[in-house]
Amino acid sequence: MRVRALSGRRRPSVPAAPLAPAAVIAAVLLLLPGSAPDVAPAPLPTFGWSRYFGVTLPRVPADLGDLERFEQSVGRRADLVMWYAAFDSFPDFPSRDAAALLARGSIPEISWEPWVGTGGVEQPAYRLSTIINGGHDEYIRRWARQIRDWGGPLWLRFGYEMNGNWNSWSEGVNGNRPGEYVQAWRHVHRLFEREGARNVVWVWSPNVDSPTGVSLRDVYPGDDVVDVAALDGYNWGRTQQWSRWRTFEQVFATALDELDSLTSRPLVLGEVGSTEMGGDKAAWVKNFFAALDRRGGIRGFLWFNYDKETDWRVQSSPDSLAAFRAGLSQYGR
C-alpha cells in the first residue's frame, strides 16, 4: 500500500498443531494450472478452516518472532503471510524466507513491485512498455527459475493496485498507456510458463477505488492467467482531508459488485485495514467480520498490520484487538 490520492486503500492461546508443510503444499498445488489436468478445478484449500486469514507485518519474514507474537495476540496462526519485494531491492527470489514460512505452516505471498521502491511514480526505466518489450526478461526469468527450483507453493501478487495513480506500473502515469498493464502481466506470466514455474498462484489485486477512472475490466488480464482475484481497501476515517469514516460495505461494495461480473476466480481481500481516527474502530472490526459472513464468496483476507499513514494495526487499541480476536475466533468455522 502507498499513500493515495483517493480513499480505497493463529495461534490460539493453547496452540493448535500446525499443519504439516507437506499438507500445505498438497493443498495449494490443487490451485495450480495443470496440476490435475483430468480433474475439475479444486476449491481453495482451507487448512482445516473454511476461509483464509493472512497478514502483512513490517519486519516479517525477516523476524518470525514478530509474526509469532502477532499470532499469539490474535489467537490464530496466519494461513498466508505477505511481504513486498521491489525489483531493485530483490535481485533474487528470497527462497529461505519463503521456506521458513512454509515450514511453520504459512503460505508465503509476495507483492512483486516492478520499480525502484524509493524512486517515486515517474520511473521511465520501469514503464510497462519496458516489461512488454523484454527489458526486464533476464530478471523475471531468473526469479521464475529460482521459484521453480525452490519448489514450494507461492502466491505472487504482481503489480498490485494498478488502477491507482501512486505506482509506476499504473496506466495513465509514468508514460504508461491504456492496455499496457494487461500486456505486461501476460508477458510476465508467459515467461514463468516457459521456465516451468508452475508452483505459483497468480494473485491479481486492484484497489477498490480508481482516481483516474480505470475500470477493473480495463486492467483484468484474463481468467487464463489469474488464479485468485483480490481487492485492496481501507477505512481512512478522518486521517486525510479527502477521507471520511466508511463502513466495510462503503469501502468494498461497489468494487465487489464489479468484480463479480468480471470473473468467477476465487476472491480474497488482498489488503484491508482501518484507522482509529473518526469513529469506533472496534465496532468497524466487528462489522468487518459480520460482512465477511454475509458475503460468503470472499474466501479470505490479509490485514495490513502497519503503523504507517495511520495506525492500521489490529492492536492500535485494546478494544480493537479484542474485537479482532473475537471475530477471528469464529471466522471460517
Residues marked active site are found at 161, 271
Any bridge partners for residue 86, and if so which? 113
For residue 61, cis peptide bond before it (omega within 30 degrees of 0): yes
What b-and-e string marks burial along 171-184, b requiring 16 or more CB atoms within 10 Å of the CB?
bbbbebeeebbbbb
Q: Is the dihedral angle over the CA atoms 247, 252, 253, 254 positive or is it negative?
A: positive
What's the rounded Cα separation, in Å, for the pair 332 and 327?
10
Say if residues 85 and 113 touch (Cβ distance below 8 Å): yes
Q: Are 75 and 55 in contact (CB under 8 A)?
A: no
Scan for cell 463502513, then name that residue. 247
Helix (H, G, I), strand (E, B) or coil at 204: strand
Q: Which of 227, 137, 129 is nearest to 171 (CA)?
A: 129
Nearest to 97 by CA among 67, 136, 73: 67
Q: Which of 245, 244, 247, 269 is nearest to 256 (CA)?
A: 269
User: How many whole angstroms from its chain centre is CA 108?
Assistant: 11
HSE-CB for 138 with a 13 A CA cutoff: 2
The answer to whether 272 and 303 are in contact (CB under 8 A) is yes
Q: Name the grid cell of 178.
A: 491504456
Alpha helices (H) in 124-197, listed in sequence order: 128-132, 137-150, 180-194
